[in-house]
Structure 1
């Protein structure tokens, strides 16, 4: 590669310049402080781990496995994975490093790395922030997590016009089990639901056992009342299906009571990460953004890989995406060189007021700080901050 091109970065990664970096860092601090106020304890996790540890999720989520960079450890000769998601690491902490009897709440923020972008116009190295709740399988835990996610979005200043999507993999999963479908048929149905291909779905389900119920699930996926009307009595009486339906409906009512102005949509065949999630799924969207601002769901049994299966629910977001398009004006004051007490006191006072102050060095002049916005000048014996 020519020397002139060595500064170029790989596709899908980018530098963050000061004006946006300040926005992101402020958002990260505020978010973690907010999560701490809700009882979520901060943890840091390593950037690399043995692949066996990170595979606690990839066994049930092939997408995560494919997103994980793998390298050979030069010390042990074992295979390492660069974290593509921090959830399995927090599950390891909950299972072995910091086992808690009862409910445990954790939060985190850190860079993850993906082998390929996970969506249109997305980075391969998101700054992931999230929260996880272990040890409770109650609806209250799901409602708390959705409420925390929405509150975080509101704190980030993005609540206006947001839309919450709720789903539950248990409806489709219990119907598949009731009908005794093969994995191949299940996979094809999942693909049809994801593509919202109703004509294909109608044709494909004609020969299936409970085919009309599978079609109804797709046809009325956003209307719980219509589902109750059109599904067969046998399916509605199925314990697993009934439980999933009740959880979804109760969560919708609970969240709506807390967020009366929020638009809540239902999609019972939104099956993203279908083999990973075990129950309620949720995502919050903003106008004019295709990707969700934050998303999550229930993934009970997460710690089984580590010998301690626990009910769990959680969400995450990418702080880069959350802060997209936001910039801050950096106020930088240039102070003249010198050690006079009144000058040093004026510099200290300016910093206390929130300015960043750079004192000139050696033979530097004002022109040596091209990003300066203000200067400290002595007017009639008094130091004042003046805009340049």
Structure 2
């Protein structure tokens, strides 16, 4: 049976007036707050050459990207599935600054498949990135800004899960795993498949089991880091990763932090601290981020970088408040200068004023009007809308 012409593809949806108004208000609130923290807004194009969009991000982004052929150049284009590579290109190639650069962004991205069964294939992605500082101080700043952003969005409860990609890479190097084995291990840990992990280490040298078997159990509060120091091999990469996570605990102790040392989200491009934020009882993360020092290499400068992104569609759902509107004012479509002046006074005060077009009497309430401008005693006054 053919779909009606008004039907949308699965996991795409329209944003209707009330939700769109909330989304736009939140977008402005967050971008203005980013600006107050020194993050400058950039607006990349929605389409780029494919190799620029997926360079340095691994196969995950390539599989998520819609592809098309450019009729001008003949090259393959990609419809962006993530704005972070674009912002990295802007920092590395266009701005080309030597010091620290803070950038923010907001725009729609399109993905071939949804991230979860409840998410859209067209997220409205908003985020912030820091370039040019290798130290853990940048990670502290970005996690703090993330928590502040979710509070501004109305998150009632919050949990921020932290991990470290450097720890995993140090363990696999210590265990002597090649690239193929590491990729297989990544899939096992992402699925939290402990029996498969035991099967993976079986028959391999004991150093492999010692390095990997403790990982699935290393999740929880800050005490996890103390356990990790005793349960994981004492190698430099592991020590430095745990040290960075302990630094975050020290400087972000007022935030609800938890740890999952087997979480490999962003495995193909993250290089250090990684994090995911959760709100309420939903199992899906409302924000993702972490350090990705190598992505800029594709654009000629592998600058240190860390940041986070969120979906405005998800964020507007965090605040469970029902939109309360004061309604709009209906005004005559034609009148003298005094009417025009009265309308401007109302709009300057923040009121919505709609002009009454002929032939629609009785239908203005569905457009949101609950009052009207009428001329009484020589002056324009706002009164309740007549039935």
- Superposition TM-score, scaled by structure 2 size: 0.91
Deviations 1:176-212 (A, max 9, x none): 0011113333233323322323344345434333212
Q: Partners of 2:228 and 2:237 in 1: how far apart?
A: 16
Matches within 5 A, 1:258-277: 260=254, 262-277=255-270
Between 332-341 and 149-158, report the one with greater CA deviation. 332-341
Quick check: 1:107–1:131 contact (8 Å CA) kept in 2? yes
Q: Partners of 1:179 and 1:166 in 2: how far apart?
A: 23
Q: Which of the residues 210, 213, 223 maps onto 1:212?
A: 210
3-state secondary structure, aligned to 1:370: helix
Between 279-288 and 345-354, report the one with greater CA deviation. 345-354
Deviations 1:133-155 (A, max 9, x none): 11111000000111111111111
Q: Partners of 1:114 and 1:224 in 2: how far apart?
A: 36
Does structure 1 residue 224 correspond to structure 2 residue 225? Answer: yes
Report how far residue 289 of structure 1 moved. 1.9
Quick check: 1:127–1:319 contact (8 Å CA) kept in 2? yes
Q: Which of the residues 240, 250, 255 maps onto 2:252?
A: 255
Q: Partners of 2:360 and 2:286 in 1: how far apart?
A: 45
Q: Partners of 1:78 and 1:367 in 2: how far apart?
A: 52
Aligned pair count? 376
Q: Partners of 1:134 and 1:221 in 2: how far apart?
A: 29
- Provide structure 1 residue ranges, at least 5 long, that are not aligned to the other structure: none
3-state secondary structure, aligned to 2:372: strand
Specify the alignment match of 2:134 in structure 1: 137
Quick check: 2:269–2:294 contact (8 Å CA) kept in 1? no
Between 320-329 and 288-297, report the one with greater CA deviation. 320-329
Specify the alignment match of 1:179 in structure 2: 175
Quick check: 1:334–1:369 contact (8 Å CA) kept in 2? no
Deviations 1:208-257 (A, max 9, x none): 332123112222343111122223xxx22x2211111111111122111x
Deviations 1:53-110 (A, max 9, x none): 112234xx21110010110111111111111111111111111111101111111101
Deviations 1:312-367 (A, max 9, x none): 11110111111136653442211134423443333222222222101213455353
Matches within 5 A, 1:288-327: 288-324=281-317
Q: Partners of 2:214 and 2:322 in 1: how far apart?
A: 47
Q: Structure 1 residues 207 and 218, CA, compared in 2 at 3 Å: closer, same or farther?
A: farther
Report how far residue 266 of structure 1 moved. 0.4
Report how far residue 299 of structure 1 moved. 0.4
Specify the alignment match of 1:385 in structure 2: 382
3-state secondary structure, aligned to 2:107: strand
Quick check: 1:133–1:314 contact (8 Å CA) kept in 2? yes
Q: Structure 1 residues 62 and 33, CA, compared in 2 at 3 Å: closer, same or farther?
A: same
- Aligned residues: CA RMSD: 2.1
Q: Structure 1 residues 363 and 213, CA, compared in 2 at 3 Å: closer, same or farther?
A: closer
Q: Partners of 2:124 and 2:312 in 1: how far apart?
A: 5
Deviations 1:108-144 (A, max 9, x none): 1011111111212111111111111111110000001
Specify the alignment match of 1:190 in structure 2: 186
Quick check: 2:277–2:286 contact (8 Å CA) kept in 1? yes
Specify the alignment match of 2:25 in structure 1: 26
3-state secondary structure, aligned to 1:348: helix
Quick check: 2:218–2:262 contact (8 Å CA) kept in 1? no
Specify the alignment match of 2:37 in structure 1: 38
Specify the alignment match of 1:97 in structure 2: 94
Matches within 5 A, 1:351-362: 351-362=347-358
Does structure 1 residue 350 correspond to structure 2 residue 346? Answer: yes
Quick check: 2:175–2:211 contact (8 Å CA) kept in 1? no
Q: Partners of 2:282 and 2:33 in 1: how far apart?
A: 24
Q: Partners of 1:46 and 1:119 in 2: how far apart?
A: 25
- Provide structure 2 residue ranges, at least 5 long, that are not aligned to the other structure: none
Q: Partners of 2:226 and 2:126 in 1: how far apart?
A: 35
Between 313-322 and 286-295, report the one with greater CA deviation. 286-295
Q: Which of the residues 147, 161, 164 maps onto 1:168?
A: 164
Q: Partners of 1:8 and 1:358 in 2: how far apart?
A: 31
